[in-house]
Structure 1
Amino acid sequence: MNYTFASATILLLLITDPFGNIPIFANALRPVAPERRARVILREVLIAFGLLLTFMFVGDRFLRLMNLSDLSLQMAGGVVLFLIALRMIFPPPPAEGAVQLGEPLIVPLAIPALAGPSALATVMLLVSQAPERRLEWVAALSVTMLVCAVVLVMAERIQRVLGDRVVMAFERLMGLILVAISVEMMIRGLKVLVKQL
């Protein structure tokens, strides 16, 4: 797929899913003092941004080292996106007895909530398809992380204004769009594979 700056930004936003992460962040930050929550969120977003940026610059070398083709990455990315999208549409029941103690660091907020396997695969896919547009992908990732930071810092207000049902409906709508994107990725990958045979 030939991505533009806008489509890459939308794809990254769908994958990082800031609205879907509101309940995860709210639960993980419950033991944190209210005045520290914004700082913790910004720190976790910066950690996720740093990790995704690293994969954007060294991902192609990693692919060469592992002897993986762009096609295999596209197909694997499509499958991972499809599974993530299904979890967005049909979320699993919350784990009972899972209590977050103290201030979260890196896990579970930066990784895997923001910089999960699908986000890492997507940034590598973008760069592998158009390495000469790397600065454009960095800009798309920067915009995505900025939106994530704003949404998550304002999470409590968003939940109060919209309500849990609207946030959940929005997440499921994003999941549906992500299913379509993942299926399109797999179809295009299969077409390339058939031509190669």
Structure 2
Amino acid sequence: MDHTFVSALLLLLLVLDPFGSLPIFISVMRNVAPERRARVAVREVVLAFGVLALFMVGGRSFLSLLHLSERSLEVAGGVILLIIAIRMIFASGGEIYATDGTGREPFIFPLAVPLLAGPSAMATVLLLASRQPERLAEWVGALTVAMAICGIVLLMADRLRRLLGASMVSAIEKLMGLVLTAVAVEMILAGLKRYFFGT
């Protein structure tokens, strides 16, 4: 399944799920001093971008090192996306990723990894880079825009939650989960088709 810049951007936004991350983000940031929340949010988004960009740029070398085919990555990535999508639909936000419960200021875990740069996001950027490596600059651009949008949403977390309400945030997350389910199934079918028919 080939992607355009727009479809890659939409796929990344579905996988990163900034609206679905709001409940977890608000919960984790509750113990952070209000004057530091914006700085912490930006730092975690930048760290997540760095992790995903590394996976995207080094994706083909990573696959070659482990002797993995693009077909197996496509199927595995689809399965991971499907699991995340099902959790988005049937679980509350706090059940998707757990925090360490220590009350310390978050650093990398759980906001950058796995909330933003989780297994599904890593699999997605690897897949984009391995399927169409000649368009790597576009994928990096799509990732940059997607992470910027996530950063804006997270910076406005408290305001958005008050504006939309918990029910609306939950409804948006479930809708994104439904769309992501269809994307995941398409990825699995495309990988199986390439495996069995070589197309």
Q: TM-score, normalised by structure 2?
A: 0.95
Which position in structure 2 is the counterpart of 1:183? 185
Pair 56,80 (structure 1): closer, same or farther in 2 beyond 3 Å: same
Q: Are the counterparts in 2 of residues 28 and 100 from structure 1 also a CA contact under 8 Å?
A: no
1:41 Cα deviation after fit? 0.3
Aligned partner letter, 1:161:
L
How far does residue 64 in structure 1 lie from its aligned partner after superposition?
0.2
Contact 1:9 1:141 in 2 (8 A): yes
Structure 2 distance, partners of 1:24, 1:72, is 31
d(CA) in 1 for partners of 2:93, 2:119: 21
Q: State the shift of 1:169 in Å.
A: 0.2
Which residue pairs with 2:22 in the alignment? 22
The residue type paired with residue 115 of structure 1 is A
Q: Contact 2:23/2:93 (CA < 8 Å) preserved in 1?
A: no
Cα separation, 2, equivalents of 1:99 and 1:128: 37
Aligned to 2:173: 171
Kept in 2: contact 1:52–1:120 (CA 8 A): yes
- Cα offset for 1:189? 1.4
Question: Which amino acid counterpart does residue 65 of structure 2 have in structure 1?
Answer: L
Q: Which amino acid aligns with 1:140?
A: A
Unaligned runs of 5+ in 1: none
Once the two structures are superposed, residues 124-148 of structure 1 have per-residue CA deviations (whole angstroms, 9 ceiling, x without a partner) of 1001000010000000000000000
User: Equivalences for 1:24-43 in 2 at 5 Å?
Assistant: 24-43=24-43
Residue 175 of structure 1 and its aligned partner are, at CA, apart by: 0.2
Aligned residue in 1 for 2:142: 140
The whole-number CA distance in structure 1 between the counterparts of 2:91 and 2:195 is 33
- Does the Cα contact within 8 Å between 2:99 and 2:110 map onto a contact in 1? no
Structure 2 residue runs of 5 or longer lacking an equivalent are: none
Aligned-partner SS, 1:176: helix
User: Which residue of the partner structure matches residue 154 of structure 1?
Assistant: 156
State the Cα distance separating 1:101 from its structure 2 match. Answer: 1.3
Q: 1:99 deviation in Å?
A: 2.8
What does 1:59-138 correspond to in 2, within 5 Å? Answer: 59-91=59-91, 94=94, 99-138=101-140
TM-superposition CA deviations, 1:139-182 (whole Å, max 9, x none) = 00000000000000001000001000000000000000000000
Pairwise CA distance, 1:194? 2.0
1:103-138 per-position Cα deviation (integer Å, ceiling 9, x unaligned) = 110000000000001101110100100001000000
Tell me how far apart the structure 1 counterparts of residues 32 and 94 of structure 2 sit (CA, whole Å): 20
Q: Secondary structure at the match of 2:58?
A: helix
Distance 1:43 1:87 in 2: 27
Give every structure 1 segment of 4 or more consecutive aligned residues whose post-TM-superposition deviation is greater than 6 Å: 95-98
Greater mean deviation of Cα atoms: 178-187 or 89-98 = 89-98
Report the Cα offset of residue 190 of structure 1. 1.6
**TM-score between the two structures when normalised by the length of structure 1:** 0.96
- Matched positions, count: 196
